[in-house]
Structure formats: structure tokens, C-alpha cells
Amino acid sequence: MGIIVGFKRATFAQLDENDQIVQDNIFTVDGVDGKGATREATIAGLSAEASKVFGSDVAYYVSQQGTGDVSVNFTILDLPEDLMNCAAGHTKHVDGFTLVGKNSKPPYMAVLLESENKNGEPVMLAAFKGKMSMGDVAFKTKEAGAYEPDPETMTMSCVANKDGETLGKAIGADLVTKLRAYAFPGETLPEG
């Protein structure tokens, strides 16, 4: 992907049982006050483990295909509560508070990561399907001086989509638009 400059936006979308986007459960984290801000995303497991095949007393062939155990680790400032509840499968009590327990069942999600390269062209990486796990929640005492919030963490354990693909990447506005349509099937974009 070359040199990636910044981390502009992450968009999370719930997938239904047919791997189509649930239109009411699309969440954008892009630095809007109260809606969270992206800090970092690290993608691991992009390559399958190589396996050497020996013959005639030498390493004769390397077998390697597909991906490893693909995951995306996110750090987000002020993680939106509605995104966390959706991605973690938390439920609402009839009185409105959130419940975490035996009925928590994370849905499959798709994620778009947006940035730009050193030439200012848009760059997108998409994780097509996976389930989220949330990081720890910590309460800390106030200290003297300005408050500096800690980012929250989420990890997406990725699996392949119906086409057998796990991730996609695009550079340039036209390809970014096409990748979004592929990664978020059934999404209805606003007019304009």
C-alpha cells in the first residue's frame, strides 16, 4: 500500500444472515465530537504460514497459500456506546440500561479503514467479515492537571466472505468507491 498518512475514518457495519449490510447499524468513527476518533488499526495474519517440503535431503518446495489468522486491532478514543453494544452483541434491558452476559452474541461485522497515501490519494482497507471482541474497561482516579483519555480497544477476528476473500485494499477514489460497494453489500448511500 506504500506510505499511509494518517487514519481518517473507520466505518463499521453489521451484517445480516445473508451477509448484507444492516442499514440501521452502520457506525462511522471520524473525529466528530461524541462519535469517537480513530487512533490506530493494526492488521495481522496477512500471510499464511510457509511450510517447507523436503526431498533429496534439501528443502525442495515451499507450500504457502491464503492468509494466516487474520485479525484487526483497533484503538479508538471515545468509542461510541451504540457501536460497542452492536459489535459486542450486548442487549438492552426493558428499562434501557445495557446488559452483558449469557445473551451477548456478537454479530458478524464488516469494516472499512480510510486514509490517504503520501501523494494525497485516498486509501481504503476493508475487512469483509468478522466478529468483534472488546478490550478491558478501567476506572482510574483523577489526577492533577489536564485529563488525557485512554483509547479503547476492539479486536476483529476475521473470516472469509462468501467469495473466499478476507480483506480488500484500494488506492484512488474510483477503486475506493468500488471496494466500499463490495465490502458493504446492500448499503444504501445518502443522496448527494
160 in any annotated domain: yes
102 in any annotated domain: yes
Report the pLDDT value the prediction gives residue 64, as an integer from 0 to 100.
Answer: 83
Residue 190 confidence (pLDDT) above 70: no
Contacts (Cβ under 8 Å, ≥6 apart) of 190: none
CA torsion angle 77 80 81 83 (round to 10): -120
Residues 101-150 have pLDDT tens digits of 998 999 999 999 999 999 999 999 999 999 999 988 888 888 888 888 88
- Among the residue ranges 26-35, 90-99, 141-150, the one predicted with the least confidence is 141-150
Contacts (Cβ under 8 Å, ≥6 apart) of 53: 59, 60, 61, 62, 63
114 in any annotated domain: yes
Of 66 and 126, the structure prediction assigns the larger pLDDT to 126
User: What's the mean per-residue pLDDT of the chain?
Assistant: 91
Q: Which residues on adjacent β-strands are paired with residue 62?
A: 52
107 in any annotated domain: yes
51 in any annotated domain: no
Look up the domain containing 88 and give its range: 4-46+69-140+149-183
- In percent, the amount of the chain with pLDDT more than 90 equals 69
Report the pLDDT value the prediction gives residue 1, as an integer from 0 to 100.
Answer: 65
64 in any annotated domain: no
Residue 164 confidence (pLDDT) above 80: yes
Q: How many folded domains does the chain comprise?
A: 1
Residue 175 confidence (pLDDT) above 70: yes
Report the pLDDT value the prediction gives residue 191, as an integer from 0 to 100.
Answer: 58
